Amino acid sequence: MLLEIKKHPFPLLKKRCEAVKTVNGEIRALIRDMFQTMYHNNGIGLASNQVGHDLQLAVIDVGDGKRVIINPKIIKKQGKETSEEGCLSLPHLFLKIKRAKRIEVEALNEKGENVRIKGEGLLAFCLQHEIDHLNGVLIKDRIGFLHKLRNLIK
């Protein structure tokens, strides 16, 4: 089922999402819908609060297959790199964001198993972008005041 993507300023986009307690059938159904919605909108990642759910859950596919992160924690960060990012909740806005180049994330997968994901480049940026969403942070919050003024971003 296609879900409606919530756009800024939708209140849940600013909230730190609640941890998922049990990875059950309901969660797996939401994961299926989130992948379908993400692919339909040509996205590479989608967080649950972008579709109106208050859960530490995001789906990712940077071109090498599906990845699900539930209750993710970044356990390692290395290097810095700036790249241009967009966001399905901020249409037509592309911003240069500086992030760690390599990261390691601990999370649960769609089966409720503990997984570790090591990411570099696009996967690392995408993981950080989605984990930001789950903490109520959007790309517009990652840039300085002057940059915002120049781009007239609220």
Q: Which long-range contacts (CB under 8 A, 24 or more apart) does 39-48 make?
A: 40/2, 41/5, 41/88, 43/88, 44/122, 44/126, 45/126, 45/127, 45/129, 45/130, 46/5, 46/88, 46/130, 47/17, 47/130, 47/133, 47/134, 48/17, 48/134
Nearer to Zn ion, 66 or 111 (CB): 66
CB of 128 to Zn ion, least distance (A): 11
Nearer to Zn ion, 87 or 95 (CB): 87
Q: Quote the least distance from Cβ 80 to Zn ion, whole Å.
A: 20
Residue 97 makes contact with Zn ion by CB under 5 A: no
User: Of 87, 108, 123, 126, which lies in the binding site for Zn ion, with binding defined by CB under 5 A?
Assistant: 87
The catalytic site residues sit at: 130
Give the interface with Zn ion as residue ranges (CB under 5 A).
87
